[in-house]
Structure 1
Amino acid sequence: MVFNEIGIMEISRFNMSHCVVVKKIIQECAKMKMEKMVLNRFNESDGWGEINPVTLSSDWSRVARLLTLAGLSVVGSLGNVYMISAVMIEDHLKKRGNTFIVNVALADLLITGVVMPASAIVILAGLDPATEVCNVQWFLAILSWLVTVLSLAATAAENYSRLCLSPETYARLTTRRVTIIVLSIWAVSIIVVTIQQIFNVGPSYCKRPSGILLYQAMTASIFFILPALLTTFYYAKTIMQVRLARTHPSFKPPVAFGWDYSLMKTNMYSFCLFFLFWVPFGVILFIDSVKSISPKLFYNLAWIALSKSCVNNFLYCILDRHFRSAYINLFHYCCCKTTVTFSRRTREVARPSGDVRVHIIPGYNMYSYTSPQRSGRECTKVTSGKRTSANRPPRPHHNRDVYEL
């Protein structure tokens, strides 16, 4: 009897220990399964496809991804810098209202100058999955997106007031007010994006949370649909009023009006280009909060949306004559005049002052000459009249210094 009780106790103890072991195994399996699901959601899995939100699809070779990102970064950054510089140096583009165009270029420069180079660095360093880098990239991407949306709406309103309202009304848009509007756009955008990142209440490029469809709908209505409707309204109203004014025989606008109207249409095409690149990713972002989407489709559309920052500056170069002229002059200035050369001849004891040839860009008057000899000859021309080339003494070519900058 005693042996039976001892046997029963041992069996019970064995069963209890066995249950504990089985329970631990089940917990470990559940934990591993959860970690695998999170990893698959973020980076790579058998059913989701191999893709990283920072470094593109692993179907491409490492060199191909690196060259693609580096090329987009260089071309996009150079184009955005050209776009900003064009507004600063082109005479017709030096208007306070074009500050909003510069603001769009600055927002694009965040993508081409920070987000894309960061991905290239991650590929070189071999960081995978680079969660911290992904969070920073998403913060800058959504910040650039929001600044662009608000700046496009401000550009449409400014174009309408410039073309359709009286000069007195447009004069109220002073440089100070334009500066306040630009700073307000950046301040509002930074505050909204920071709140979203801190409280994790918005759509995320990295974590892809679900169940936030209502919040996404409210956010999109305030910060995307409403500015888009205002932008469309101002452009449509401007086009209708200009076409109506052109029907009158007495309507003879100055040449500058035609240039401003052409720039307005280019701004409108830039707005359409923004829609073309970002709307597909926005639709997928909404669907992903309800139903899981293939990460390959999700992140490919995301990178297509980001690549808009590399294309917008070329749109202005193609469609607007003043941007195109400024781009050409900037190219010649940066690429064809990159060195400083000094051409010197042998000097005599009595050396006359030479001509100075200076390369300058304001107004695109590429060269300017100044010298005492030339000034003296000009004064002589005024007093003695025109000289023929036969009576003019030959100009000595020695003792001449040419400074080419």
Structure 2
Amino acid sequence: MVSNMSHAFPTEEVSPVTLNDHWSRLARLILLASMAAVGSVGNVFMISAVMIEDYLRKRGNTFIVNVGLADLLVSGLVIPASAVVILAGLKDNLTVCRFQWFIAVWCFLVTVLSLAAVAWENYFRLCYSVDVYQKLTKRKITFLLLGIWAACGCISGMQFYSDLSFDYCTRNDLGLIPYQATVSVIFVFVPLSIALFCYVRTGYQVRRFRSRPNFKAPVTFNWDYALTQTNMYSFVIFLVFWVPFGVVLAIDNVNKVSGKVFYNLAWLAISKSCINSILYGVLNRHFRGAYINLFQYCCCKTTVSFSRRQRPEGVRPSGDVRVHIIPGYNMYCSPQRANEGGRSKRFTDRCASTRANGREVYEL
């Protein structure tokens, strides 16, 4: 359904769905497709890195995965929807716009609460004992994450029920400031303030620890602090991308802002979801190493062929089977797997592990 949406400044020809009409259709399509591709692949790598990297596989890092999942929904649903509208030759589509705004607000609120949880978890991991940190159980994390997604989904959906909130697509101001102010304070300002306090407190405590003459930090402590610094940069990047749009959105309730400025800043804020995973790969060595392993696993595998021909014992097949896999994830050639079920020593010997170019190569 195509709707002629009433903009406050129609002469500027700015669309909340298809960007600026002064740009060529091909340029807009290439830009949106590139953002969707880079953002989606990067966020998948970011989520997978926590699963495959030994150091990152901690229950507290689930909150980082939650941020990556929210960014993945934006880069995989919000941005491609605009590309589809451009491909269809449409200018404005009210249904698509409201779908995008619903997903964007939902993921924005989830990201804010997750960033606060990341900062809180980093503070307890670095500044408190292991016994205190162990109280953060998997069950508590699961219920907390489910509660975050459910609460944020309800808040995002309620803005369309009885027109409680500002209409992003048509920019019709209903003047119901109390609802918007309440949501902004409880779900945005308070969590961001908690995150900022936790990071400042963490940096202060770590400097105190390191100033002690008898303090010798273990390597895991340095790794945790390096990851915390990366999370700090991610928090700052989030503020840099979203605060300008938040300020313009607040001003727009009092004095109408140019549609060109309003929607360009909105798309700038949305584009944050496409670069957050890149930030982790650049600043953190564990994420960077996991990205390299994932790239090698996805792009450097050789063809695996299976042969049913009978051959004499001790004679290798005509084509060697070499599989490049992520270290520690060979389910067939690991010693534990080989010893299961009373396997013979001959099978274990034939399942030899070598290293080539810094990667695990297993020959079957």
Say whether the 8 Å CA contact 1:86–1:327 is kept in structure 2.
yes
Contact 1:213/1:286 (8 A) holds in 2: no
Q: Give the whole-Å Cα distance in 2 for the aligned partners of 1:348 and 1:133.
A: 59
Tell me, in whole angstroms, the C-alpha distance in 1 between the residues paired with 2:64 and 2:10.
42
Quote the Cα distance in structure 2 between the aligned partners of 1:313 and 1:148. 13
Note if contact 2:304-2:322 (Cα within 8 Å) is conserved in structure 1.
Answer: no
Q: Is the 8 A contact 1:51 1:296 kept in 2?
A: yes
Cα distance in 2 for residues equivalent to 1:298 and 1:105? 26
Among residues 356, 363, 376, which one is paired with 2:328 in the alignment? 363
| Distance in structure 1 (CA, Å) of the matches to 2:333 and 2:289 | 20
1:297 shift after superposition: 0.8
User: Residues 359 and 367 of structure 1 are in contact (CA less than 8 Å); yes or no, is this contact kept in structure 2?
Assistant: no
Task: Give the letter aligned to residue 350 of structure 1.
Answer: P
| Cα gap change, 1:62 to 1:366, in 2 (>3 Å) | farther
Query: What pairs up with 1:225-264 in 2 under 5 angstroms?
Result: 225-264=189-228
Partner of 2:47: 84
CA contact (8 A) 2:119 2:199 kept: yes
1:198 match: secondary structure: coil
1:160-171 alignment, distance < 5 Å: 160-171=123-134
Any idea what SS the aligned residue of 1:252 has?
coil
User: Of 15, 18, 29, which residue of structure 2 is paired with 1:52?
Assistant: 15
Partner of 1:120: 83
Unaligned runs of 5+ in 1: 1-34, 379-401
Q: Considering only CA atoms, is the larger Rg found in Structure 1 or Structure 2?
A: 1
After superposition, where does 1:180-195 map in structure 2 within 5 Å?
180-195=143-158
Deviation at 1:84, TM superposition (A): 0.2
Partner Cα distance (2:111, 2:286) in 1: 22
More off after superposition, 90-99 vs 209-218: 209-218
Aligned-pair CA distance for 1:374: 7.8
- What does residue 202 of structure 1 align with? 165
1:108 corresponds to which residue? 71
**Could you report, residue by residue, the CA deviation over 1:290-337 in whole angstroms, capped at 9, with x for unpaired residues?**
211111111000000000000100110011100000001111111122
Conservation of the 8 A alpha-carbon contact between 1:70 and 1:120:
yes
| Pick aligned residue for 1:295 from 256, 259, 266 | 259
Q: Matched residues, percent identical?
A: 55
Maintained 8 Å contact 1:142/1:193: yes
Matches of 1:334 and 1:229, distance apart in 2: 40
Distance of 1:194 and 1:163 partners within structure 2: 37
Deviation, structure 1 residue 177: 0.7
Farther-moved stretch of structure 1 (206-215 vs 128-137): 206-215
Q: How many pairs does the alignment contain?
A: 339
Is this contact kept in 1: 2:35–2:274, CA < 8 A?
yes
Distance apart, 1:343 and its partner CA: 9.8
Q: Which runs of 5+ in 2 are unaligned?
A: 339-344, 353-360
Q: Given the alignment of the two structures, is residue 372 of structure 1 paired with residue 346 of structure 2, yes or no?
A: yes
Is this contact kept in 2: 1:107–1:147, CA < 8 A? yes
Question: Which segment is superposed worse, 211-220 or 53-62?
Answer: 211-220
> TM-score scaled to structure 2, two decimals?
0.86
| 8 Å contact from structure 2 (residues 53, 290) kept in 1 | yes
Shifted more, 202-211 versus 285-294: the winner is: 202-211
Counterpart CA distance in 1 for 2:283 and 2:97 is 35
SS of 2:57's partner is coil
Q: How far is the alpha carbon of 1:222 from its aligned partner?
A: 1.3
The structure-2 alpha-carbon separation of the partners of 1:234 and 1:372, relative to structure 1 and needing over 3 Å to count, comes to same
- Greater share of helix: 1
Q: Structure 1 residues 192 and 148 mapped into 2: Cα distance closer, same or farther (>3 Å)? A: same
- Deviation, 1:365, is 8.0
TM-score, with normalisation over the residues of structure 1?
0.78
Q: CA deviation at 1:242?
A: 0.8
The verdict on how the C-alpha distance between 1:267 and 1:349 changes in structure 2, with shifts beyond 3 A counting, is closer
